[in-house]
């Protein structure tokens, strides 16, 4: 099955879409961080509180965009998010000491937001709750 997918080129199309959406997510997160830094005081506590909100919102939007373009791209996008979060945790990018569950939340909820949000929106649309 994997070999057939590689030979037909579907894997490469999904991977390129996931990479494009991943770059879009990075740009969106950078823009949100810039706007937040202009609106709020840039102290550490505000940053620790708002970072998960911005991250999960960005990953949910990215998952919806990837699912809208190509359904198979969401899995690859979730894999990219997982790898990125794991690398950032290993590099200890967060300079403020945080409990272990804070980083674990990024590692688990980030990829889940990529996968679950488009599925929930599709289900709500089928029920007629979202237009």
Which residue, 103, 121, 96, is CA-closest to 55? 103
Q: Pick out the chain residues at pLDDT < 50.
A: 1-2
Written as six digits, the tokens of 129 are 């709750």
- Supply the pLDDT for residue 40: 76
User: What is the total count of domains within the chain?
Assistant: 1
- Supply the pLDDT for residue 83: 94
Question: How far apart are alpha carbons 81 and 63 in whole angstroms?
Answer: 10
- Supply the pLDDT for residue 129: 66
**Structural domain harbouring 89:** 2-127
- Supply the pLDDT for residue 99: 78
- Supply the pLDDT for residue 61: 95
Which residue, 122, 131, 130, 115, is CA-closest to 60? 115
**Could you write out the DSSP letters of every residue in 102-124?**
HHHHHHHHHHHHHHHHHHHHHHH
How many residues are listed for the chain in this entry? Answer: 131
- Supply the pLDDT for residue 6: 54
- Number of Cβ atoms within 10 Å of the Cβ of 27: 11
């Amino acid at each position: 099955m994997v070999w057939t997918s590689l030979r037909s080129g579907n894997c490469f199309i999904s991977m390129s879409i996931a990479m494009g959406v991943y770059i879009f997510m990075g740009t969106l997160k950078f823009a949100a961080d810039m706007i937040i830094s202009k609106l709020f005081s840039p102290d550490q506590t505000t940053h620790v509180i708002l970072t998960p909100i911005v991250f999960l919102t960005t990953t949910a939007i990215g998952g919806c965009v990837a699912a809208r373009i190509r359904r198979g791209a969401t899995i690859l996008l979730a894999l990219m998010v997982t790898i990125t979060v794991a690398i950032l945790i290993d590099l200890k990018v967060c300079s403020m000491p945080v409990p272990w569950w804070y980083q674990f939340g990024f590692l688990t909820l980030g990829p889940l937001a990529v996968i679950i949000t488009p599925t929930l929106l599709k289900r709500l649309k089928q029920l007629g709750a979202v237009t």
